[in-house]
A and B are shown apart, each in its own frame.
Chain A
Amino acid sequence: GAVVSQHPSRVICKSGTSVKIECRSLDFQATTMFWYRQFPKQSLMLMATSNEGSKATYEQGVEKDKFLINHASLTLSTLTVTSAHPEDSSFYICSARTVSGQNFYEQYFGPGTRLTVT
């Protein structure tokens, strides 16, 4: 149980275009989802927290107009990188948490999406 999927796994786009990444909880209802980015050989950096039906909360330094997050249902959150530039190239990972059951502390991570902006 507690499986999180991401789509696509890899995406290459041209500078100036927008890219949408989907994060789905497959077998549980995710009341909260988190988006991270990870640069090579570095730790995970939290970008934003989203709760179903609410606006996302962005971490300091993360441009909310550039990284649009939508958490429209209890199983789906999307991250859209708008007007992507080469410096946005990174590994984007989502995680999901549920408030029900005894495992409400736990975050379950997706497999990640490798974004390359050319």
Chain B
Amino acid sequence: QQQVKQSPQSLIVQKGGIPIINCAYENTAFDYFPWYQQFPGKGPALLIAIRPDVSEKKEGRFTISFNKSAKQFSLHIMDSQPGDSATYFCAASNPLSNDYKLSFGAGTTVTVRA
């Protein structure tokens, strides 16, 4: 049973477009929500993360929007570039669980066309 539901499974945008990936969760004990970027054959790399005490966080071209009441959070990639083509995973961590284990979404494959 996946604790974090991620959509869409894949999406294609033109260069300069804004891919948006959505995630939803049920466990209200989650209090840390990171996004990871993974290129084929590589390990995931932490992109950006948010805690529930803020509704938005920006780092460069990446923005997380967080809606605590709806239990949803999303990643926006501004001015997307072909180099952003990768698989993106959202995740959530519950401090009450052992060692802050991460629950991952299923992943979204983003393709940015030149």
A in complex with B: yes
Using a CB–CB cutoff of 8 Å, the interface residues on chain A facing chain B are: 4, 6, 32, 34, 41-44, 46, 49, 51, 57, 91, 93, 95, 97, 104-112, 114
CA distance A91 to B106 in the complex (A): 16
Given contacts A106-B46, A106-B49, contact A46 B101 (CB under 8 A): yes
B43 to chain A, nearest CB (A): 4
Say yes or no: B34 contacts A43, CB within 8 Å: no
Say yes or no: A49 contacts B42, CB within 8 Å: no
Say yes or no: A97 contacts B100, CB within 8 Å: yes
Say yes or no: A112 contacts B41, CB within 8 Å: yes
Task: Choose among B45, B98, B109 the residue that contacts A109 (Cβ–Cβ < 8 A).
Answer: B45
B16 near A: Cβ within 8 Å? no
The contact string, 1 if C-beta is below 8 Å from chain A, for chain B 91-112, is: 0010000111110111101000
Q: Contact size class for B? A: 20 to 34
Chain B residues, CB < 8 A from A97:
99-100
CA distance A112 to B49 in the complex (A): 22
6 cross-chain CB contacts under 8 A: A34-B99, A105-B32, A106-B34, A107-B100, A111-B43, A112-B42
A113 to chain B, nearest CB (A): 9
CA distance A93 to B105 in the complex (A): 16
B62 near A: Cβ within 8 Å? no
Chain B residues, CB < 8 A from A105:
32, 34, 49, 93, 100
